[in-house]
Amino acid sequence: AQILRKEIKQLGYNNNFTIYDQLDSRSVVKMVINELNLDIKQYIPKTYQAKISNAKNLLQTPEIIRNLAENVIDEKFAEIYDKYQQTLKKNNCLDFDDLIILPIDLFEKFPNKLEYYQKKFQYVLVDEYQDTNKPQFEFLHAISSKHKDIFVVGDDDQSIYGWRGAEVKNILNFFLDLIVIV
């Protein structure tokens, strides 16, 4: 959030963005479903909110979802997800998943910003590393790849956030990933 408060203008938001909690996020999903004239009983907001979060935890944009669509339901999901993101941006709001995804986007689009934060965070310490998901891994990899001074703590037997996209393989393959970083 601190990085985004300083840099988010680069991505078309204002620095005074609001972070939506689960209820706010679900309300936006419900509003989007209604605006798209979809049946709220078939396109359940809670379900689609979870699907959007899962897609974000896999670093899948609405465009990726659209390209992977195999049926009408998948296409509608891509449409809901896309309009949800547009609505958040129009309202200058983020959901919790955006707090990790948007810095990754910032670093990809503006390498000078990544370089700045790599210098600022020369040493990186991560606790509960077994519960990191793909976006968190990508963020940590980006920040630590210059100095390669990263220390992680975790226990693969204590991984409890698989339902939020946590990948225990991040800790199991840490040394292999480190070799790739070097």
Nearest CA to 154 among 135, 139, 134, 169? 169
CA atoms within 13 A on the CB side of 176: 5
Computed on alpha carbons and rounded to an integer, the radius of gyration of the chain in Å comes to 18
- Cut 0.75: pTM above it: yes
> Could you tell me if 85 and 111 are in contact, meaning their C-beta atoms sit under 8 angstroms apart?
no
Q: Over its length of 182 residues, how does the chain's per-residue pLDDT go in tens digits?
A: 999 999 999 999 999 999 999 999 999 999 999 999 999 999 999 999 999 999 999 999 999 999 999 999 999 999 999 999 999 999 999 999 999 999 999 999 999 999 999 999 999 888 877 777 788 888 988 999 898 888 877 665 665 555 555 665 565 566 545 444 44
